[in-house]
A and B are shown apart, each in its own frame.
Chain A
Amino acid sequence: MAERTLMKGNEAVAEGAVRAGCRFFAGYPITPQNEIPEYMSWRLPEEGGTFIQAESEVAAINMLFGASSVGTRVMTSSSSPGISLKQEGVSYCAAAELPIFYTNIVRGGPGLGNIAPSQGDYFQATRGGGHGDYRVIVFAPKTVEEMANFPRTCYELAFKYRIPTMMLADGILGQMMEPVTFEFDPIDPSTLDLPDWALRGSKPEKRRVIKSYDLRPGKMEQWNFRLEKKYDEIREKEPRYEAVNIDDADIILTGYGTAARVCESAMALGRKEGLKIGYIRPITLWPFPKSVFREVRDKVEKFFVVEMSLGQYVEDVKLSLNGRSEIYLHKRPAGGIPTGEEVLELTRKILSGDKTKQVEE
């Protein structure tokens, strides 16, 4: 179990989900995430689980609605255009408070875009994605090993709060291979307590209903406030992040996923030549780890955001810093992949007073 092995990101998240107790997967093919359904198609039957290649993305997400209603740990995955198609179903799951787990292995957009790595779906992921007033918990791994190990936490939080939970990664993380160690023993879902809301065809003391609406006057407003209470609790308790070298930093580099790796590399290179560079990386994109930015915003003058999109992630950084620091932004959308050297060179320029990359507050 603790053996170190070389795995592809897509296979790692699939295996991680199975080990975390997933026993139902429905999906529809799209590059660059095809290895996930391919893996599930043979792996789930080994564990007595069910794999379905659905007739469409819309069908797949609605199959999850059904399978999740009986308390099963379920999963679907897709890439950007396919995730867009699934948003109606995710919204229904959010309303019905179903703990589904899904991954978006993001590709270039908008439209059909391309199959290159991208971070262009940040807004869609962190603002709910479909219609209505809801959020989903969003994890952003930066290594294949995290893709393998995060599904366990995703299911724990999904079931704890009864909320859809997703993993947002890009085509690089999906396609690359890296060493992986699974940090948890496989979970046998039959040993888990069945949630008290799960529909099992029995006659419990109180009738159980899973639905996404209430037409009685005022009831939907109450429903929304109930969801908000849950979201507030998650905002308070569940933000996760990584922060390195922030105490003496003249500048903090920040990004998530693949961009975080690049920031980390630029920091390591820069520190070798004496530049005081720090680094913050959100692990959860929603709830966003505002607190760590607030802790350092009065001490650090400059923040440098690196993202593989046109200024989406930077919005949350801005909201967290609230005008207290200068913000610089480097954008590489739809297949542009920044390098550590590239980010370090820009960091040197920013530290020497170059304002070219500065964004308005």
Chain B
Amino acid sequence: MFQGIIMSGFGGQGIISGGIMLAYAGMIEGKQVTFFPAYGAEMRGGTANCSVVISSDPVASPVVGNPDSLLIMNEPSLARFEDSLKPDGLMIINSSLVASKPTRTDIAAIEIPVSDLAEGVGNIKTANMVILGAYARKTGAVSIDGLKNSIEKVYVRASASMVEMNKKAIDKGAEAVS
């Protein structure tokens, strides 16, 4: 199996840490993984994005040009990455913040009110967990448990209550696509 994923949103939405979580979950499940952040010049309020590869074979380049899956957390990310998605690729869109619709018809697009669901869990900062939960359930590239087991490895200073809240957010995302 091979999954090239781009996760993109605003700075502060947990894009980078979410990408690391995804790679970590893949690693503990025995997959070959890479995580690569966009590290160029970005302006405040602009986009943050990262590439994650989860594969059964060694990964050549960690840079994902044409992703198999796109995790779109804000409006500008849709415009920026829609064209790059592979035909038959998967796009999960945070409909709480993205008003536009994808124009492509050769892809699978799922709209979930990611930010609203995160607020429902108790903290909007868990929005990245919601979309990861949805992605894991939809593709099986990593398991829901794998994601949950990665929380404390990536957020090393997270309190027990925050870890629990993140787990709930992952479940919320998974339920939203079940």
Tally B residues with Cβ within 8 Å of A: 20
> What sequence of 0s and 1s flags, for each residue 152-180 of chain A, a beta carbon within 8 Å of any chain B beta carbon?
00000000000000000001100111110
Which residue, B20, B39, B57, B58, has most C-beta atoms of chain A within 10 A? Answer: B39
Q: Within 8 Å of chain A (Cβ to Cβ): is B76?
A: no
A6 touching B23, Cβ below 8 Å = yes
Contacts of B40 in A (CB 8 A): 115-116
B39 touching A6, Cβ below 8 Å = no
> What sequence of 0s and 1s flags, for each residue 56-86 of chain B, a beta carbon within 8 Å of any chain A beta carbon?
0111111101000000000000000000000
A339 to B65, CA, bound (A): 9
Complex: chain A residue closest to B66, CB-CB: A339
Beyond A31-B39, A176-B35, A268-B57, is A337–B27 a contact (Cβ under 8 Å)?
no
A339 touching B61, Cβ below 8 Å = yes
B36 touching A172, Cβ below 8 Å = yes
Beyond A177-B20, A261-B59, is A6–B65 a contact (Cβ under 8 Å)?
no
A179 touching B27, Cβ below 8 Å = yes
A81 to B112, CA, bound (A): 46
How many A-B pairs have beta carbons closer than 8 Å: the answer is: 60
Q: Within 8 Å of chain B (Cβ to Cβ): is A262?
A: yes
> What sequence of 0s and 1s flags, for each residue 264-303 of chain A, a beta carbon within 8 Å of any chain B beta carbon?
1110100000000000000000000000000000000000
A139 nearest CB across to chain B (Å): 20
Beyond A31-B39, A176-B34, A179-B33, is A264–B24 a contact (Cβ under 8 Å)?
no
The range of chain A's interface size is 20 to 34
A171 to B61, CA, bound (A): 12
Contacts of A116 in B (CB 8 A): 40
Q: Within 8 Å of chain B (Cβ to Cβ): is A37?
A: no
A175 touching B36, Cβ below 8 Å = yes
Contacts of B35 in A (CB 8 A): 6, 176-178
Q: Within 8 Å of chain B (Cβ to Cβ): is A77?
A: no
Q: Within 8 Å of chain A (Cβ to Cβ): is B11?
A: no
> What sequence of 0s and 1s flags, for each residue 18-30 of chain B, a beta carbon within 8 Å of any chain A beta carbon?
0010011001000
A338 to B57, CA, bound (A): 18
Within 8 A of A (CB), among B1-52: 20, 23-24, 27, 33-37, 39-40
Beyond A6-B27, A268-B57, is A175–B39 a contact (Cβ under 8 Å)?
yes
Beyond A32-B39, A178-B33, is A340–B60 a contact (Cβ under 8 Å)?
yes
Contacts of B153 in A (CB 8 A): 6
A72 to B57, CA, bound (A): 41
A264 touching B34, Cβ below 8 Å = no
Interface, chain B (partner A; CB < 8 A): 20, 23-24, 27, 33-37, 39-40, 57-63, 65, 153
In the A-B complex, the 7 residue pairs with the closest CB atoms: A265-B60, A177-B35, A340-B60, A176-B62, A176-B36, A261-B60, A179-B27
A/B interface sample: 6 pairs, CB < 8 A: A6-B24, A6-B33, A177-B35, A178-B35, A178-B62, A261-B58
